[in-house]
Structure 1
Amino acid sequence: MSIGYSLYLSSFEMQKPMFEEIDGRGQFVFTSLHLQEEMDDLKAYREQAKSALHWLKGKGFYIIADVSPITLEIFNAPTLNEFMTRLPVDCLRIDYGFSDDDILTLAKDYPVCFNASTVKKDFGLKLKALGTKIFACHNFYPRPETGLDEDMFREINEWLKELGFHIMAFIPGKAKRKPIYEGLPTLERHRTLPSYVSFLDLVLKEGIDTVLVGDLTIDHQDRLWIEQYLSHQTICLPVHFEPPYSHLYDQAFTVRPDSPFSNIRLTESRLMNWDEGLLKPYHQTDRPVGTITVDNVNYGRYRGEIQIVRVDRPRDERVNVIGHVDPNYLDLLPIIPNRSKIRFVRKR
């Protein structure tokens, strides 16, 4: 699994500080080289493209460029194969305007990326037979209510996975891009979610290989949490604790393998060296979704067990309410699988 970012040539100087912070090795950049609104001055556009792409290659990014026949015309390349020698890109995403033979000819010599949302299975089989690296990249959808629904997404991905293709999809970012400024996700359900939540949803629930940020930037904290997950497979869970329980910030736990959907049960919590005062009855209230609790001394051998509730629960005199998941990140809760590692973090 990996993360990637979108490059927009007209916004590169604004995006550059973000790219400067990122170690590009093993990470992807996706860019479109046929956006008409960026092409007022074709000579300047060509120079800008070469400069930005060379800079990103110097950082170690793997660059996928979305192209059309207009792109070849602008860069004076008679064929897709010739275009690959003109710019420092690693792979071309081919959508419309090229014949199957054009794409197959390219795929004999270079990795190829196709539109996962529209390609036909019989053509996918032809590409697979060539034995080259094949990426299947879904579209993003600027207009609200046009993003893919889960059933369609999974149906498409099922056969892509069967053929062993590397699947990519988009999530919204922080600085929204024109023309609608309402996020650039593949799945409609992600349009208003934090990038971190959308990333984990695609990786953990949908089995996507590479998640691309469609917008101009990503929230800095979300990016750090994504990088931590990629490095350590630990899910950072933004929370707010009651003051007596603030020592639980930055603590890591394992989700029990037998946790029901209703409650995330944390394996190590009952084995902790608890201060006995923290297990006396305290703050016993209703427990809406996202509430963090610890079983108090009235629960016998369960004393000290920390849970995160995923369904609304009533007050229980044996259970102390000690915190809650940050409201912006409640959508993480259905995503967290049993046996996973989680870490409680402050939302800054």
Structure 2
Amino acid sequence: MLGFSVYLDKDLTADDHNYLLGMRNAGFNEVFTSLTGLNDEAETILKRLNQLTSWCKDLELKVMADVSQDDLHYLGYDLADVEKLKTLNVTGLRINDQVLMRFVSKLSKSMWVSLNAIYLQPEDITHLKEEAANFDHIRALFDFYSQAETGMDESWFKKKNQWLRKCNLETAAFISGDGVKRGPFFAGETTLESQRGVYPLAAALNLKDLACSNVIVGDRLTSETIKSFARYTKEHAITLHVVDEESSLLEENHWHNYLYLAQDIVRLHCEGKLPELEAQELPLDRPAGTISINSNGLNSDEVHITKRNLPADKEVRIVGKVCASECSLLSHIEPEQKVVFKKLEK
């Protein structure tokens, strides 16, 4: 699952609807929203939620609403009254405080339930089994941490996530977006501190490598990053934006990674032969993200992208550089995977 966030701290607008549409078209299928920490009247909050769920129904998007038991009471609802909770028209609830497992079990038979991953302990899993909970409808969701330096340690996350998966629970975590950040810290809504500020698609692929079942973008994405997600979900392609491009050969050709992973470079090949280019008169260092073509006629259908800083090579011609923020994608390019180059617009 790929999810994204739309919050209810203000009235929804046409821009919000367009964002929902764009994200749906890019392959996202679930919306995360929050009913916690809102200072508005209950009637206003429910009106905004109704607008969101109505749009999401039309767009075939699921909706997961973050709540606490106190928030539900404020809105006139109770975890014990499942039939009334169903009138919220959400796909599921994310209960962000500790809760009796008998309520979770009952709720799981009617809708999705996401539980705060850090609270879950072995005895909770035992109680869920005793209450005959529907584990197909229960997910462990790791929280996001808005303030820099408060995010989760990756090794601790990995261990907790592995245990939850062994308990037959789906897991989910947040990555920060590269668009407008939420206050009060404006540092990105991310689960892992190591991913704060990391290019969103790279962060999502890293969570996949860590066996996290579901990814939720905590902040807005820019339009170009939405397009990059779309190419990944629809074509399994990695998009790299290029700066200092010397030649149009990168955008004009169809590129795929080799059958194996090279240690120091991404070794891309195309179907046709590339133009012969002379090496630079003065060989240049090749920091991570440097794109080059051989000038000696060997492997003439290839370009190489450095994964790490490499020394100058008199046999190559540098033809461009990957945008610095996207260099984190290079380690996630798989054998035979399609790579698309796009010129970075100034």
State if a TM-score over 0.5 links the two structures: yes
Determine which of 193, 197, 204 is the counterpart of 1:192.
197
Runs of 4 or more, structure 1, over 4 Å off, are 125-129
Equivalent residue pairs, number:
336
1:324 counterpart SS class: strand
**Native 8 Å contact 2:3 2:28 kept in 1:** no
Partner of 1:47: 47
Please say if residues 93 and 113 of structure 2, whose CA atoms lie closer than 8 Å, have aligned partners that are also in contact: yes
Q: TM-score, normalised by structure 1?
A: 0.87
Amino acid at match of 2:253: Q
236, 239, 253: which one pairs with 1:236? 239
Q: 2:146 matched to which residue of 1?
A: 142
1:306 and 2:303 are equivalent in the alignment: yes
Q: Tell me which residue corresponds to 2:88.
A: 87
* CA–CA separation in structure 1 for the residues paired with 2:260 and 2:162: 28
1:75–1:83 Cα contact (<8 Å) kept: no
Residue pair 2:66, 2:95 contacting (<8 A) in 1 also: yes
d(CA) in 1 for partners of 2:224 and 2:258?
27
2:228 match: 225
Q: What amino acid is the match of 1:295?
A: N
What does residue 24 of structure 2 align with?
23
8 Å CA contact 2:274, 2:300 repeated in 1: no
Letter in 1 for 2:52: A
Give the counterpart letter for 1:179 in structure 2: P
Quickly say closer, same or farther: Cα 1:127–1:182, change in 2 above 3 A.
same
RMSD (CA atoms): 2.4
Cα distance change on mapping 1:181 and 1:339 into 2, 3 Å: same
Give how far 1:234 is off: 0.6
Tell me the alpha carbon deviations over residues 92-133 of structure 1, each in whole angstroms, 9 at most, x when there is no partner. 112315212111221233322112233124423554764432
Return 245-254 or 153-162, whichever deviates more. Answer: 245-254
CA 97–151 in structure 1, closer or farther in 2 if over 3 Å, else same? closer
The match for 1:6 is: 5
Please tell me whether residue 117 in structure 1 is matched to residue 121 in structure 2.
no
CA offsets, 1:263-285, max 9 Å, x none? 1112x34x52223xx24334632
Which residue in 1 is equivalent to 2:248? Answer: 246
1:154 paired to 2:158: yes
Partner Cα separation in structure 2 for residue 195 and residue 301 of structure 1: 36
Write the distance in 2 (CA, Å) between the matches of 1:227 and 1:235.
10
With 156-165 and 306-315 compared, the bigger mean Cα shift is at 156-165
For 2:228 and 2:234, locate their aligned partners in 1 and report how far apart those are by CA, in whole Å.
10
Aligned to 2:266: 264
Query: Contact 1:295/1:304 (CA < 8 Å) preserved in 2?
Result: no
CA contact (8 A) 2:98 2:119 kept: no
- Asked whether the equivalents of residues 17 and 55 of structure 2 are also in contact (C-alpha less than 8 Å), the reply is no
**Cα distance in 1 for residues equivalent to 2:334 and 2:126:** 33
Distance in 2 between residues matched to 1:18 and 1:26, nearest whole Å: 11
Note the residue ranges of structure 2 that are not aligned, 5 or more in a row: none
Q: Which residue of 1 aligns with 2:218?
A: 214
- Check the 8 A contact 1:185/1:214 in 2, yes or no: yes
The answer to whether the aligner puts 1:339 opposite 2:341 as a matched pair is no
1:142 Cα deviation from its structure 2 partner: 0.7
Amino acid at match of 1:287: R
Does the CA-based 8 Å contact 1:69-1:97 persist in structure 2? no
Whether the 8 Å CA contact 2:287–2:308 is kept in 1: the answer is: yes
User: For residue 316 of structure 1, what is the amino acid of its counterpart?
Assistant: D
Instruction: Tell me which moved more, 280-289 or 310-319.
Output: 280-289
Asked if the contact 1:125–1:163 (Cα under 8 Å) also holds between the matched residues in 2, the reply is: no
The alignment partner of 1:45 has SS state of helix
What is aligned with 1:182?
A: 187
Work out the CA distance in 2 between the residues paired with 1:146 and 1:81: 35
The percentage of aligned residue pairs carrying the same residue is 27
Distance in structure 1 (CA, Å) of the matches to 2:123 and 2:258: 43
Question: C-alpha displacement at 1:222, in angstroms?
Answer: 0.4
Q: For the residues of structure 2 that align with 1:340 and 1:162, how far apart are their CA atoms? A: 30
Query: Does residue 1:167 correspond to 2:168, yes or no?
Result: no
Where does residue 287 of structure 2 map in the other structure? 288
Amino acid at match of 2:198: L
Say whether the 8 Å CA contact 2:101–2:128 is kept in structure 1.
Answer: no
Q: 1:123 to 1:97 in 2, by over 3 A?
A: closer
